[in-house]
Structure 1
Amino acid sequence: MTNTWQYYLLKTISRIICLLPYPWLLAFGRLLGRAYYRVAARQRERAIAQITAGLGLSRPEAERTIRSLFVKLGQTFLEVMYLPALSPAKVGRYITIENRHYLDEALSRGKGVAVLSAHLGNWEWLGAGLSMNGFPVASIVKSQPNDQHNRIINEYRQHAGIEMFTRGTTELVAAAKALKNGRVLGFFSDQDAGKNGVFVEFLGKMASTPVGLAVFARRLAVPVVPAFIVRRPEGGHRIIVSPPLEFTATGDDAADDYTFTVKATRIIEDTIRRYPDEWLWFQKRWNTKWAGEQA
């Protein structure tokens, strides 16, 4: 028996959500997030433990922050289901881009742009917001375990005008071509990279970190522009764009890649510290053990 029914169930839910006024969407999302916080005990406790260790919060502070995170995740889920209803006009109301001139200037170099980002805020609306503001967006995506979830989210990304490449496949070659063709390519550099990563201190603990962004920056001389999305108190989102992160080549490729990866990681760290209830704290960021770690 196939699981295609999940796709059609999600599509039905999505069609209903797309009929709602946006303020209602946020209100229902808050209720959904509060329920999620109560029932998802494993994710909740992992998030509390990791934010306590990473930011040095007390237990009450950690619980408040993670409760806020879960509320925002409830809103994010409904917003993702709302993607088919997004239009450039709605994006103009719900998403503001701060310092977009950094992206414009980087694109004008004619080499494409690598965007440094993280699983912070509604990252699906980050890509959609940039795309619907006229940027030629592409993304390297990680396949989800459920193929029907993949099917619907990729369909919605395409609806938003995003070109997709799958991580860990020969499509990475196509992603490099996309950069050469002037696309804006997103790199989410905050996940455990397993045995293929390099170990960098992240929120006080060594973590296996993706090095792909550094490799692209070195080999293609592509500008790297940090961009993150966070929620506005009144509803909607801010896309915060920062100055380009320059790659310095000394001739030692491995050392240069590592130095650049550390710089990129510090930017992600600093953003998480500013917006602690926006980052996905229950992800297994430190899953790969560092050789120097105490047993």
Structure 2
Amino acid sequence: MASQDFAVEMEESPLREEAGHEDASQSAGSQPDRPIPWSVRLRIGFVRGFLVLYARCLGMSGLYRLGRIFGFCEYLVDYRRRGRVHRKLKSLFGDKMPEALRRRHVQRYFMRVRCDKMFYTIMDRIPRGKLLNRIKIKNRHYADDALARGKGLYVALCHYGSHHVAGLMMALMGYKIAGVRDAKESHVRRYIYQKYRETWPEVAEMKLVYTHTFPRVQYRHMQANG
């Protein structure tokens, strides 16, 4: 789950920021990014172009309906994954969840994840105002109250949907984000994140540390809360 975790800070002193940058750059330098193959760039570029054109013609609601259709098709075709989700729900809820209800939840899971992935793929092409209006962080006051104590905030997310959206949205809302990144992250995710950095200055300012590095850098980010 490391690539879906991030620390949040609001203010940094120049000295601590410089030290944090130095440690973060050293950590990043110890694990240089693998080059993204051109085949991946062309494939994702084509998908992004299609989704952006579709969204411009039919709107975000139309893109959502397309995601639900693709998700339902995945539910029908990917029987192995469908079986894993069924078994997991049954192990968690047992006979308390009827078969029909479990089947409906599995269908919704497939459709939700596909919609999240489509949205995540083109978020940098969606206007900032539309993003902030469509995506809301519930109970945001808990994060603000924690940051008011001056000791930073660590946010851990579950493996459900496109987790990176949370870090992006918090950055756009003004939070200073330090992300914990998996050194073996896929080419697709690194390509999309590169597009985010090119589009949003707030994302470009996000600090990243690798999962195998010493946690001192993360602690410094939290201590720098002011």
TM-score normalised by structure 2 residue count:
0.70
Which one-letter code corresponds to 1:175 in the other structure? Q
User: Structure 2 residue aligned with 1:168, among 186, 198, 212?
Assistant: 212
Q: Tell me if structure 2 keeps the 8 A contact 1:30–1:71.
A: yes
- Secondary structure at the aligned position of 1:114 is classed as strand
Give the superposition deviation at 1:106.
1.6
How many residues align structurally? 180
Partner of 2:220: 177
Distance across 2 between alignment mates of 1:87 and 1:32:
25
Cα gap change, 1:175 to 1:29, in 2 (>3 Å)? same
In the alignment, structure 1 residue 15 sits paired with structure 2 residue 53:
no
Q: Tell me if structure 2 keeps the 8 A contact 1:141–1:165.
A: yes
Give the superposition deviation at 1:145.
6.0
Partner of 2:99: 59
Q: Any gaps of 5 or more consecutive residues in structure 2? A: 1-35
Partner of 2:13: none
Distance across 1 between alignment mates of 2:222 and 2:126:
26
Distance across 2 between alignment mates of 1:145 and 1:103:
27
Deviations 1:62-88 (A, max 9, x none): 221111100111101101111212443
Distance across 2 between alignment mates of 1:116 and 1:166:
15
Give the superposition deviation at 1:120.
3.1
TM-score normalised by structure 1 residue count:
0.55
- Secondary structure at the aligned position of 2:156 is classed as strand
Distance across 1 between alignment mates of 2:161 and 2:185:
22
Deviating beyond 3 angstroms after TM superposition, the runs of 4 or more aligned structure 1 residues are: 143-146, 156-160
- Cα RMSD of the aligned pairs, angstroms, is 2.4
- When you count strand as a share of all residues, which structure comes out higher? 1
Distance across 1 between alignment mates of 2:119 and 2:99:
30
Q: Any gaps of 5 or more consecutive residues in structure 1? A: 184-295
Distance across 2 between alignment mates of 1:25 and 1:142:
30
| Percent identity of equivalent pairs | 20
User: Structure 2 residue aligned with 1:32, among 64, 67, 70?
Assistant: 70
Distance across 2 between alignment mates of 1:86 and 1:128:
13
Distance across 2 between alignment mates of 1:106 and 1:28:
39
Deviations 1:116-167 (A, max 9, x none): 3212354222222211111112221224464x22421332454551433222
- When you count helix as a share of all residues, which structure comes out higher? 2
Distance across 2 between alignment mates of 1:64 and 1:77:
20
Q: Tell me if structure 1 keeps the 8 A contact 2:86–2:102.
A: yes
Q: Tell me if structure 2 keeps the 8 A contact 1:91–1:132.
A: no
Partner of 1:127: 167
Cα gap change, 1:8 to 1:144, in 2 (>3 Å)? farther
Greater relative contact order (Cα 8 A, min sep 6): structure 1 or 2? Answer: 2
In the alignment, structure 1 residue 138 sits paired with structure 2 residue 178:
yes
